[in-house]
Amino acid sequence: MNLAPGWYPDNADPRFVRWWDGTQWTPHTQPRQQQTDAHHMEMQMGGTGQEKVAQQVQRAGAHGAGQGGGSLFTEPVLVVNQKAKLIEMSNSYVIYDQHARHLGTVEQVGQSGAAKALRAFTKLDSLMDVRLEIRDVQGHPVLRLVRPATMWKSKVIVERGDGMPIGEIVQENVFGKVRFAYVCNGMKVGGIYAENWRAWNFSLCDHTDTEVARITKTWQGMAKAMFTTADNYVVQFHRQVPDPLLSMIVASGVTVDTVLSQNQS
């Protein structure tokens, strides 16, 4: 087969695509997407790190976590890996459990052609609205995130897949260790607290400031680190938490990357 390396429809299951490495089909698959802002000029670089999930989980100290229910809202560990692109016009992520099983994806939607061009050739991401959909393994939106354009503090509006409001993730400071508040119905129900000024590892707390989960950034590999801006994160729950805090934490692994990567560009 004279095909360039890339994702192609999986003959075994039409809901998925499979990675062709240029010479053979690999075991790496991911859900087939519907609407996205992906563009053919983005030049995706390699896969999404499915084969390295076990290493990511171990490095984050999340190995040995209990078994979950097989969904984005019931697994104790979520591995959020950004798709690496040499030219990036949209944000795309794949979410795995601790055993490298697909749980869902995240896709950016709603960008205009002008916005994509601006992203491709400038570092002005923070001046544009960002809309993301967190989708389950069947491709159905379960959470929608909107980060309005900003030049200072950021916030992310979190909605259910059907558009029902859940709350907001609000940046509380600019200098020092960054903090975000989970705000639902005007009340703070928890927060995100960076552990250093570079803000790549986070403590996620409930309304009593008790840590209930953690976000740990994991290394994406030399090639991706040198040539792309793709980032990978492990989200680990220490215990079960109720909604709306649960939905806010699930959204957090994507939120911190979208907000902080753009603000530091």
Per the model's pLDDT, the better-predicted residue between 15 and 99 turns out to be 99
Q: What is the pLDDT of residue 150?
A: 83
CATH 2.40.160.200 range(s) for the chain read 39-263
Mean pLDDT for all residues in the chain: 83
80 pLDDT more than 50: yes
Across 84-98, 177-191, 249-263, the highest mean pLDDT is recorded for 177-191
Model pLDDT for residues 181-237, shown as the tens digit of each residue:
999 999 999 999 999 876 689 999 999 999 999 999 987 664 454 444 568 899 999
The whole-number average pLDDT for the span 63-92 is: 83
Give me 100's structure tokens. Answer: 């490298």
Higher pLDDT, 114 or 100: 100
> In the 8-state DSSP scheme, what is residue 48?
-
**Cα(172)–Cα(178) distance, rounded to whole angstroms?**
7
Cis peptide, bond prior to residue 244, ω within 30 of zero: yes
Residue found by looking up tokens 């902080």 in the block: 260
Q: Give me the pLDDT at residue 14, please.
A: 67
- DSSP, collapsed to helix, strand or coil, labels residue 194 as strand
- Judging by DSSP bridges, how do beta strands 201-206 and 77-82 pair with one another? unpaired
Question: What CA–CA distances, in Å, run from 82 to 89, 103, 123, 199, 216?
Answer: 13, 14, 18, 17, 14
pLDDT for the residue numbered 124: 65
- What number is the average pLDDT over the span 141-167? 91
Report pLDDT for 228. 45
Percent of the chain with pLDDT over 70: 78
Q: What architecture is domain 39-263?
A: Beta Barrel (2.40)
How high is the pLDDT of residue 103?
93
